[in-house]
Amino acid sequence: MTDRQKIAVVTGASAGIGRAAASALLQQGWRVIGVGRDAGRCAEAAAALSALPGADFTMIRANMALLGETARAAAEIAALAPAIDVLLNNAGGVMAERVITEEGHEATFASNHLAPFLLTRTLLPHLMAAAAQSEPGSVRVVAVSSTGHEHCDGIRWDDLNFAEGFVGGAAYCHAKLANILFIRELARRLAGSGIVAHAMHPGVVASNFASHCDAPMRAYMESIAEQALTPEQAADTLVWLASAPAPGRSSGGYFHKREAVPCSAAAQDDAAAARLWRESEALVAGY
């Protein structure tokens, strides 16, 4: 085992939970590579995070609703970091209206599921390289999901693009279910590799998350605003999953406030998890 500096990749690092997690890991002495979409927020976050004492931070800009940009960001990360200790798939969001990207994917599903699937798949050799130099369970992949997954009964296999009956909140819950199923199958595939995979629910967060919601979801978010956590509070479990010893002793879990919590029956469907992996492989083929 080596004493090299640990490296984390954090998507959505330009604001909210991702920026708070990046800051916390930098303050623990990690090297952090962030991914963000908005140019202004990326520049502001990069300046602030790089100014932390001893910080080694790099920001990469990419719109993760686009697989081409996700693949380009993955290539840039791979060039910067031959070995990656932690991948925090935090970026995502919700759309008020159905948007089909120039690549032909519904934007909510693309940014919340297909992009982290592609990023993880591309960076897996770099995670494996870190695992070969580390104690088992030290290398981790974490997905930020949501209790919203409980409101989705299953993956819409015949309509992943929500051509029928699009509602922004429903599309978001569908993608959050996909996050947990992805982690479940990833954990199964990586069993014995030294890499663990977990999902987490951050709670209600005071951030810009709801700015793109449709009216019903925005109203719901406003109704529970008094429960909102700061990004730093919400990022606590994400950082714990990345760096604490305890999460390294299991894989395929779903966590909230540093505790393993139940997920829905649909999120525990191993056959669906395996099928989603196959479907996702087909959708990201060529990237």
Q: How far, rounded to the nearest angstrom, does the alpha carbon of residue 170 sit from its chain's CA centroid? A: 19
- CA atoms of 12 and 36, how far apart (whole Å): 5
Q: How far, rounded to the nearest angstrom, does the alpha carbon of residue 190 sit from its chain's CA centroid? A: 18
- CA atoms of 261 and 264, how far apart (whole Å): 10
Write the CA distances from 183 to 41, 97, 133, integer angstroms: 29, 27, 23
CA torsion 251→82→16→70, rounded to 10°? -100
DSSP bridge partners of 88: 10, 142
Write the CA distances from 26 to 8, 60, 79, integer angstroms: 9, 16, 20
CA torsion 270→197→70→101, rounded to 10°? 40
Show the tokens assigned to 228.
Answer: 């909102």
Instruction: Write out the catalytic residue numbers.
Output: 172
Q: How do 195-200 and 56-61 pair as beta strands?
A: unpaired
The alpha-carbon radius of gyration of the chain (Å, integer) is 17
Show the tokens assigned to 190.
Answer: 């990586």
Sign of CA dihedral 223, 229, 231, 235: negative
Instruction: Give yes or no for a contact between 274 and 157, defined as CB atoms under 8 angstroms apart.
Output: no
